[in-house]
Amino acid sequence: MISLGVIRWDIIVDYMPMLLKVGVLTTLKLTVFSVGVGTVLGLFISLLRLSSWKPFSVIGVVYVDFFRGTPLLVQIFMFHFAILPAIIPGAFPSIISGLVALTLNSAAYIAEIFRAGIQSIDRGQMEAARSLGMTYPQAMRYVIIPQAFKRVIPALGNEFIAMLKDSSLVSVISVQELAMTGTLMSNRTYRPFEPWITVAILYLIMTMILSRFVAYLERRFGKGDIRA
């Protein structure tokens, strides 16, 4: 049993700069990068998946199935210890492996978000665009994707929150994000309690701020097409 009286507040205060400047900052960087690049890549994969040309759609389906059908933890190990060292020999910086795994994983989930968004756009939009002489890519680019994008903004926000939490998995290859900082803190102080409670609360603060923001986005963009 542990009572509040024996909490070592001094440890928390001592490590707070490192938790924030190294841990929180790295976690945010990882998340912003993987969801940012994952959005571009995910849009591309969703277009492959929706393509009427079979080889393209197969590539899209296989990609999404692979990254959603295997554990992120396994993907991180796979890129760090197997794939990346095989492509570029030598010791691989874990931050790079971590970023690659998180980005490719995020792209698969975002591709599904975009696919649903694109398919939710009324068929008449594509027909109207095509009837004006636009090509399929033009109709996608100027008519369908802008509407789909607006519709999926809240879902992308939720993906950002999910990725913020899942990025903690790259601590297994020693990327020094927030969870890894907790491990270090715990190893150095020989105390598990203060580090892990603090780390949990820091994650919670971040996800709570973000989910408020997503709720705002849902109010702003969730209601379909009215842009008054």
Binding to other proteins in span 180-219, by CB under 8 A: none
Quote the least distance from Cβ 57 to other proteins, whole Å.
19
Q: Which is nearer to other proteins, 82 or 132 (CB)?
A: 132
Q: Which is nearer to other proteins, 51 or 211 (CB)?
A: 51
Contacts of 11 (CB under 8 A, 6+ apart): 185, 189, 191, 194, 195
Q: Which is nearer to other proteins, 55 or 133 (CB)?
A: 133
CB neighbour class for 219 (10 Å; exposed up to 12, middle 13-18, buried from 19)? exposed
168 within 8 A of 217, measured Cβ to Cβ:
no
Q: Is 65 in the site for other proteins (CB under 8 A)?
A: no
Q: Is 226 in the site for other proteins (CB under 8 A)?
A: yes
Quote the tokens at residue 148: 């789909």
Binding to other proteins in span 91-130, by CB under 8 A: 122, 124-125, 127-130
What whole-number distance in Å separates Cα of residue 100 and Cα of residue 127?
A: 38
Quote the least distance from Cβ 129 to other proteins, whole Å.
8
Angle between helices 178-189 and 25-50 (to 10 degrees): 150
What whole-number distance in Å separates Cα of residue 8 and Cα of residue 193?
A: 9
Which amino acid is it at 103?
A: T
Q: Which is nearer to other proteins, 20 or 128 (CB)?
A: 128
Segment 92-99 long-range contacts (CB within 8 Å, at least 24 positions apart):
94/170, 94/173, 94/174, 94/175, 95/175, 97/170, 97/173, 98/30, 98/167, 98/170, 98/173, 98/175, 99/30, 99/33, 99/34
Q: For other proteins, what does the binding mask look like between residues 135 and 154, x meaning CB under 8 A?
A: x--x---xx--xx--x----
Q: Which is nearer to other proteins, 131 or 187 (CB)?
A: 131
Quote the least distance from Cβ 35 to other proteins, whole Å.
23
Nearest to 165 by CA among 200, 130, 135: 200
Q: Which stretch binds other proteins (CB under 8 A): 15-23, 76-84, 131-139, 194-202?
A: 131-139
The residue count for binding other proteins (CB under 8 A) is 22
Q: Which is nearer to other proteins, 93 or 146 (CB)?
A: 146
Quote the least distance from Cβ 112 to other proteins, whole Å.
23
Binding site for other proteins (CB under 8 A): 122, 124-125, 127-135, 138, 142-143, 146-147, 150, 225-228
